[in-house]
Structure 1
Amino acid sequence: MTDIQGLLGDEAKDLLAHTAQGIPKKDLVLPGHDFVDRVVSATDRSPRVLRNLQSLFDHGRLSGTGYVSILPVDQGIEHSAASAFAANPRYLDPKNIVELAVEGGCNAVASTLGVLGAVSRRYAHKIPFIVKLNHNELLTYPNHYDQILFGNVQQCCDLGAAGVGATVYFGSEQSDRQLQEVGEVFAQAHELGMFTVLWCYLRNSAFKKDGVDYSVSADLTGQANHLGVTIEADIVKQKQPENNGGYRALDFGRTDPLLYDTLTTDHPIDLTRWQVANCYMGRVGLINSGGASAGTGDLAQAVRTAVINKRAGGTGLITGRKAFQRPTAEGIELLHAVQDVYLDDSITIA
C-alpha cells in the first residue's frame, strides 16, 4: 500500500485528524457499497441507469467501496493534441488510453466519442465507458471558449457507453445555452439507460481579482454544483476549492454570512464539504479533478487531493494528465496511490 502519511508530509496530521464542524458528517449522504440501492434507487432513474451506475461502482480496484477512480482523456481537444500527448505520444492511440485505465484499476475511462468509438468492440465490455460529448476546441483563431456538442446521445448508446459526460462553463456568456443543451443531453441519456457526469467548471476572466482566482472558490464552485445537480447529473466533477469568498470579493450575486462564519473555515476539507453539500448533501457524488501535471510532485499532490475529497464526503477522483503524461508504469503507480486512499479504512469522514 502507498505511504499516504509520508506523501502528505507536514500536512499529514492536519489533513488526517481534522474534524468538520460547520456541516457535520451525520448530515451527509455518504458513499458506500450500497449507494445505488440506498440512494439512487429512490430517484426517477430507470432500472437501466441503475444497472449502468452499479457497473461503475463494481469495477476496478475500488469495486464494492462506493468510491470511484476515473481516467479522463479529452485533453487532445480541450487543450491540443500536442500539449496533451507530446510528453507521451503513445496515448495518441485510443487503445493505449483504455489499456491504462484497465491496468490502472480504474472504475471507468472517460474520453471523446472518437476515442471510445475507435475501440468500443474490443473494450466496452471490459471497462465502463463514459463518453464526454461536448468540448472546447482551441484551433479557432483568435481562440474562443465555448463547449459545443461533438456527437449525439444515440451514438454513445450504440458504442456501448455506460455513461455520458458534458461540461458547462458556468459564468460564461454561453452558459445559458450550454445548460439547456446539456440538460437535454442528460435527459436523453437517462432515457437510453446511461448515467450522467457533469464537469461543473467556472469560466470568466472577471472571476480573477487582485491576483486571486475565485473560479476555484468554495462558494462559487458550490453554486455551480447546485446548478449541475438541478439538471440531474448523477456525478459532479469539480475542481477542488483553493479559497472562498468569491461572492464577496466580486460583489455580485447573493450569499449569506453564515457560509463564511459558521458553515466553512479556511480548511480545505471544510471548503470541499461545501461542494459536497451543494450536491444534495452527497446524494449526487462529488469527484474532484486531479489537475495538470507539474512533474515530480504529482504523486503527493494527487494523494492530497484524494484525502481531502474522501474526508469531505466526496466520491472519488478523476485523474488524467498526472497519469498519462508520464511513463506507463509511473502512471499506473499514481492511479493506484489515489485508489489506496479510498481503500484505507483508517482515512475516515471528517
Structure 2
Amino acid sequence: MKTSFLLFIGLLLSNLSSAQVSIGSSVSPTNLYVSKIKEAEFDYLKTTKTYFIVPNELDFEKTKNLISDIWTFNDIEFVAQENYIEDDYVLENNTIIRIHDENYALVKRQLGKNDKTVGMWFVKKFELISYPSVKINKKGEKNLEIYEFADVFFTQSILNRFQNSPHYREKKAKEISDEPDYYNFDYGYIKNYFQTLNDKLNKKEMLNVRDGIVNTKKLKTLKEQTLFIPDWTLKSTNAFTGALSKIQEPEELFEKYEFPYEMISHQALNDKILSGEKFYYLMHSQFNEYKLLSIIDSVTGEIIYLVENKGYNIKSGDLKDINKEIE
C-alpha cells in the first residue's frame, strides 16, 4: 500500500481549515475520499516503533506526557524537532508522527506581465507514516516503501488564510488581527484528536470523514447538556479572497437550535478539555469547498456527529440538522 494521503489543492483560493482525523488511503488529492486499509497493514503497523517528533511550537515535556497517557497502540518514543535528522529515523519498520506544515501557491506565468497567483492551499497536520522496506541501492541511496496511514489536521484561522492570500490588505484584517495562526493547534484539541486516532488504530478501523457519523443515543443527551462552541465559528469568510466577510450573532446562528449551548473562546475551550470536565463541543472545519461539522466528547475524543456539506461557513441550517438528530 503506497499512499499519498491528503494533498490539499484548490483553485482561486483553497480555504483549507480542517480539524479532523483521517485514517485511510487517499483516492484523489482533490477530495477527502479514502480507500480501505487492509487488516494485515494494521497488524504490521502495530509491530513497529513510533517516533513522535515534537514540533518546536509545543513544549516537549508537556506533549510527551500528554501523548504518553493516550497512546497504547504500539511502542512510542519522543524526539524534539530540533534533534530530528530524518535520515536517522527513515529505517525499516520505523513509524514516524511528524508535522507537515507548508503553504503553497499555484502561479500562472503571464508573458510580458507579472506572474499571477491563481490558487493557494495550506497544510498543517500531524502525519503518521511508516517504512516497511528501506533498501540501499548501488549509489548508496535509500529506496523507500512508504505507508502513509493517517493525518491529524488543524483549523487555519481566517487571519492566517487571509495573510497568505494574494488579496490580503492589512486594513481588512483589523477585526481578526489578534487571531492565532491555527485555532485549535493546542494541547486540549491535540489530546482529543490523538485519542480518536489511537482508538481507531487499536480497533483496526478507518475514519473516512465523508462517511459521516451520527450517534443518535449520545446526541440525545444534548437535550439537557450544554453544547459548547468556539466563538470563531461565528466568523464567516469570503470564499474568494479569504477575508472576513461578517461576524454572526449567536442568536442568528442558533435560531434553529432549541437546546442549551454556550459560546466560548478557543483558548477557554482548550483549557476546559484539559481540565477533564465531561462535555460535548462543536467543531467547524473546512476542506476546499466542503465544510465539516463534528461534535466531540471532551473526555474520550469520540466523535458523535460528523457531517460534510458543500459550503464555506457554518449556517443556521447546519444547526437545524443537528437539532433534528437530538429531538
Above 0.5 in TM-score? no
Structure richer in strand, relative to its length: 2
Structure richer in helix, relative to its length: 1
TM score, norm. by length of structure 1: 0.30
TM score, norm. by length of structure 2: 0.31
